[in-house]
Amino acid sequence: MSREVDPDYLPDARQVSSPNCDERPAGSAVELLVIHSISLPPGEFGGDGIDRLFTNCLEPEAHPYYREIADVRVSSHLLVRRDGNLVQYVPFSKRAWHAGDSCFQGREACNDFSIGIELEGHDNTPYTDDQYACLARVVNTLQAQFPALTQAAIVGHSDISPGRKTDPGPTFDWTYFRQQLDQQDA
């Protein structure tokens, strides 16, 4: 007997439910994919800070930086860890709170029509081959489900929030990422 696939979730992702999401506006379709980067504490990898931030469980005393962001309510649909492991926080049918003040091709409020993918990283730290491979696999899966996610509709947070955001940063290799997409597509 075959197992039914839920289009809201990726079966190979660890599920961590974030309360920081809501319904997409009526008639909104997924038409944009936004790539972000995050590390908590900044520049450190592998801990549970990201899970805690996206589930509103960040302890302000755990790190000085956490005092600044403990009350922030944000999320993303997915996180790709440094080792290529995948975490999903928000179902694709819901609006994750990842883009903030943003605009894509004249359309504001990008959270309404986008999927947000965080890469565990930092602007000045190169991403891993495992992350690029996982990201390409995920993007190919999402493109099959959401046909509007063309190559032109895959952007960095810095592209939709210029001057406010810099991620995924200068170390994100867009050419290499697109080659990975093409290889998995073939």
Catalytic positions: 118
Other C-beta atoms closer than 10 Å to the C-beta of 17 total 12
| Rounded Cα gap, residues 100 and 109, in angstroms | 7
Please provide residue 145's backbone torsions phi and psi, each rounded to the nearest 5 degrees: -85, -35
CA 87 to the chain's CA centroid: 10
- Identify whether 64 is preceded by a cis peptide bond (ω within 30 of 0): no
CA 123 to the chain's CA centroid: 15
| Rounded Cα gap, residues 102 and 130, in angstroms | 29
